[in-house]
Structure 1
């Protein structure tokens, strides 16, 4: 790929995983709101630990494995359909299912502003990481770069949710982003060499928080 093409792919990746990209990620906390309510996360250090666990042992890791698989399968539509079904089946709660499906649909719709035949091959119900993986590959975005950006976006969204929930300030949030930068990079490197056998999580508290959030009366987020 030429340097100009690499720059174009980078610019698209930056746009697609920017907080301003219209996928509605601001409406979801992935169970963090319930964790704050239950005092499982009460400060910036707790938020950093929560996000690092998701990234390495929770939904963030599974998302990375699915993204990598979709990136490699971009030329095989039937595999993308199978990966989409698997990604939705892995959702541990109704809200997690809603989150990944809604973000995936919104991502496909918004990214279609950059025309490509891949959009004609995408299933209607496509979870977020599968959509990002397939569309990134179709536009020439490198796998490891897509994984790193996706992991960083997950951390960034978690920090934003933490600030809105009042458990940290903006400066503390920036320190969390800086502190987890290396972890996002190493997770991307590991996920780039993963296969579907590497799927699995051990973030039980996060899964329970996501389930308990479904019955929470007063809330800011949809998950």
Structure 2
């Protein structure tokens, strides 16, 4: 990362410090959203397994459409709205507001498997973050039980506590969600490695557009800002519970 050189010694020190902080935030984001971060994300497909089984997702094009719809209209969009409000509450040190957002996040998990997927990852994320990247904001989550801690709430709280900008935090979290679904599609459809990378690349602009929309949300009741038009995906997560052959937990 380039550093602007300013002749004034004091100003130069400030510039260098800012650069190091930016590099540190980037490194941390890559670590928190890495597949090696032990939250078990690889075990979940968000209903994609059922979509493949029933022929709704058959190739790279249909996989792209399925994931793009989740981002623009479905559960991922809902999670991003909750992420924004959890981030703002954590950044302000507002524990009461964070608990309200957390309760709404748990209530918005529309099926048993969606609840399992989000809270299992949320609890694992909190445990790992407390052990490896402690910050005061994580204490705001203490009143929320593991079984009620949604993943985007836990992630937003950590990133806000470490001073990562909202846009960077959202982009990293969304990219992690996209990458996990693409990895599931590679195993289920199946898709090749190149197809997987083409799919991630194709979702780049939808990702940026979703981040811009979510980051610009007014500081109002998040429930009033929600709205889902991806009923098929919600039904997929319910139907997966009784799917005969399964590789994934959801």
State whether TM-score is above 0.5.
yes
Structure number with bigger Rg: 2
Structure 1 residue 65 displacement after superposition: 0.6
Where do 5+ consecutive residues of structure 2 fail to align?
A: 1-16
Which residue number in structure 2 is paired with residue 198 of structure 1? 225
Q: Distance in 2 between matches of 1:133 and 1:194?
A: 15
Q: Distance in 1 between matches of 2:77 and 2:20?
A: 31
Structure 1 residue 209 displacement after superposition: 0.6
Q: Deviations over 1:176-212 (max 9, x none)?
A: 1011111111111110012512212110110111110
Alignment map for 1:76-155 (pairs within 5 Å): 76-112=94-130, 113-122=132-141, 123-124=144-145, 125-155=148-178
Q: Which runs of 4+ in 1 moved over 3 A?
A: none
Alignment map for 1:143-182 (pairs within 5 Å): 143-182=166-205
Higher relative contact order (CA 8 A, sep 6+): 1
Which residue number in structure 2 is paired with residue 21 of structure 1? 37
Which residue number in structure 1 is paired with residue 20 of structure 2? 4
2:241 corresponds to which of 210, 214, 217: 214
Q: TM-score, normalised by structure 1?
A: 0.97
What is the root-mean-square deviation of aligned Cα atoms in Å?
1.2
Q: Deviations over 1:90-137 (max 9, x none)?
A: 111100011110110011111121121222221223100111111101
Determine if contact 2:82/2:152 at 8 Å carries over to the other structure: yes
Q: Deviations over 1:35-75 (max 9, x none)?
A: 11111111110000000000110011011111110110001
Q: Distance in 2 between matches of 1:46 and 1:198?
A: 28
Q: TM-score, normalised by structure 2?
A: 0.86
**Equivalent residues, number:** 223
